């Protein structure tokens, strides 16, 4: 009907495409909530660790971190918080950066940086865990 | 996502330039602000962890830095912000489930979050025997002990 009026070669389907839901975002939201809940015990662990080690020397620190429970908790903390942070900051960037290209590079740059930081931290935790002390 | 042509002059999503900030809006935006602060802190924390784990020299260096009075007070501020952010996150989860979705409940839960964050920070402070800056005072403690021994 309107195709006749507008004399366009575009089909109605082509006009409608890309205007609907992005079909993503539920996962983003759900992961944000799941990591929020996972962070409750992990932050508790972090606070315990900080206060437990506040007067520790280097050897005490490394032996504490080398215990499997604490190594695993530390790795989980790094993974979960960095993931949560990436989701959170992505929303901030999307809300406040109106330039599409800049926003894209900001989000990608942040995620790549978090990957690098996460891998470096986990490597450090593992190297403490697998170092034979004493 | 469909691209809507937007001019940069338009107010952006949370409309900070357009609306005044009543209590709930203020809580909302400070939650986001705290999130941004804590994400910077986390990056520093992880970087610091990697640095500290390398050798004892680095470790002692950072520990000395953390025991400076102003730094330790700053850390207590971060503990408060962490509790605030955690509480706010739980509040959001509850909202998404459908609990507390009206203005009165929003104000109430916001107050609960602020109150709990304050209480938990103070409880932790108490449990850690004063605070980190108390350790700075403790460095003078041997003198007092000696005085007591003499008595």
Higher pLDDT, residue A72 or B7: A72
Residue B144 counted as domain residue: no
**Mean pLDDT estimate for chain B:** 82
Which one, of A31, A32, A89, lies nearest residue B42 by Cα? A89
| Any A CB within 8 A of B98 CB | no
- The CATH number of residue B44's host domain is 1.20.1300.10
Residues A55 and A60: their CA atoms lie apart, in Å, by 9
Q: With cut-offs at 50, 70 and 90, classify the pLDDT of residue B22.
A: confident
pLDDT of B107 > 70? The answer is yes
pLDDT at B146: 45
Domains of chain B: total: 1
Chain A residue numbers touching B47 (CB-CB < 8 A): 117
pLDDT at B144: 45
Q: How far is B147 from chain A, CA to nearest CA, in Å?
A: 25
**B8: nearest CB among A29, A98, A121:** A98
User: Degrees (nearest 5) of the Cα angle A107, A74, A110?
Assistant: 10
Domain ranges, residue B53: 23-136
Could A58 and B43 be called an inter-chain contact, meaning their C-beta atoms sit closer than 8 Å? no
Q: Where are the domains of chain A?
A: 25-130
Which one, of A130, A96, A132, lies nearest residue B14 by Cα? A96
**A121: nearest CB among B12, B46, B135:** B46
| Any A CB within 8 A of B14 CB | yes
pLDDT at A108: 96
Q: Give the tens place of pLDDT for each residue, B31-57.
A: 999 999 999 999 999 999 999 999 999
pLDDT at B126: 83
Q: With cut-offs at 50, 70 and 90, classify the pLDDT of residue B128.
A: confident
Chain B residue numbers touching A22 (CB-CB < 8 A): 1
Higher pLDDT, residue B89 or B4: B89
| Any A CB within 8 A of B50 CB | yes
Q: With cut-offs at 50, 70 and 90, classify the pLDDT of residue B133.
A: very low
- Topology at the third CATH level for domain A25-130: 3 helical TM bundles of succinate and fumarate reductases (1.20.1300)
ipTM exceeding cut-off 0.90 for this assembly: no
Residues A86 and A92: their CA atoms lie apart, in Å, by 10
Q: Is B59 helix (H, G, I), strand (E, B) or coil?
A: helix
Q: How far is CA B22 from CA B35, B87, B93, in A?
A: 20, 20, 22
Q: Which helix (H) or strand (E) holds B99?
A: none
- Contact between A129 and A73 under an 8 Å Cβ cutoff? The reply is no
- Contact between B66 and A51 under an 8 Å Cβ cutoff? The reply is no
Higher pLDDT, residue A32 or B11: A32
Q: With cut-offs at 50, 70 and 90, classify the pLDDT of residue B4.
A: low
Chain A residue numbers touching B59 (CB-CB < 8 A): 57-58, 61
Could B53 and A78 be called an inter-chain contact, meaning their C-beta atoms sit closer than 8 Å? no
pLDDT at B120: 94
How much is the average pLDDT of A48-52?
91
Residues with Cβ within 8 Å of B115's Cβ and at least 6 positions away in sequence, in order, are: none
Interface of B with A in 116-145 (CB under 8 A): 124, 127-128, 132, 135
Which one, of A33, A42, A31, lies nearest residue B92 by Cα? A33
| Any A CB within 8 A of B2 CB | yes
Q: With cut-offs at 50, 70 and 90, classify the pLDDT of residue B1.
A: very low
Share of chain B above pLDDT 70, in %: 75
Q: In the structure encoding, which two tokens stand for residue B43, read together?
A: 């990056």
- Contact between A98 and B8 under an 8 Å Cβ cutoff? The reply is yes
Q: How far is CA B131 from CA A10, A40, B46, B60, B118, in A?
A: 70, 23, 23, 19, 15
Nearest chain B residue to A42 by CA distance is B86
Residue B76 counted as domain residue: yes
């Amino acid at each position: 009907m309107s195709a006749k009026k507008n004399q366009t070669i575009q089909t109605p389907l082509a006009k409608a495409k890309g205007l609907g839901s992005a079909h993503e975002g539920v996962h983003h939201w759900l992961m944000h909530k799941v990591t929020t809940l996972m962070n409750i015990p992990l932050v508790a662990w972090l606070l315990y660790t900080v206060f437990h080690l506040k007067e520790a020397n280097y050897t005490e620190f490394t032996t504490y971190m080398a215990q499997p429970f604490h190594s695993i908790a530390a790795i989980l903390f790094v993974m979960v918080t960095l993931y949560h942070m990436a989701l959170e900051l992505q929303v901030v960037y999307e809300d406040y950066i109106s330039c599409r290209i800049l926003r894209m590079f900001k989000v990608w740059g942040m995620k790549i940086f978090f990957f690098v930081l996460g891998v470096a931290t986990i490597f450090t935790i593992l190297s403490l865990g697998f170092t034979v002390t004493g | 996502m469909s691209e809507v042509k937007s001019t940069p002059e338009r107010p952006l999503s949370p409309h900070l330039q357009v609306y005044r900030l009543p209590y709930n809006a203020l809580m909302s935006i400070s939650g986001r602000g705290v999130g941004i602060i804590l994400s910077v802190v986390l990056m520093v924390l992880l970087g610091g962890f990697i640095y500290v784990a390398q050798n004892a020299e680095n470790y002692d260096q950072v520990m000395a830095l953390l025991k400076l009075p102003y730094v330790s007070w700053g850390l207590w501020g971060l503990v408060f912000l962490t509790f605030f952010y955690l509480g706010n996150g739980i509040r959001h989860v509850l909202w998404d489930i459908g609990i507390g979705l009206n203005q009165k409940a929003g104000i109430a839960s916001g107050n609960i979050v602020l109150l709990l964050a304050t209480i938990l920070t103070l409880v932790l402070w108490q449990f850690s025997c004063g605070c980190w800056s108390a350790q700075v005072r403790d460095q003078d403690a041997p003198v007092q002990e000696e005085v007591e021994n003499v008595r």
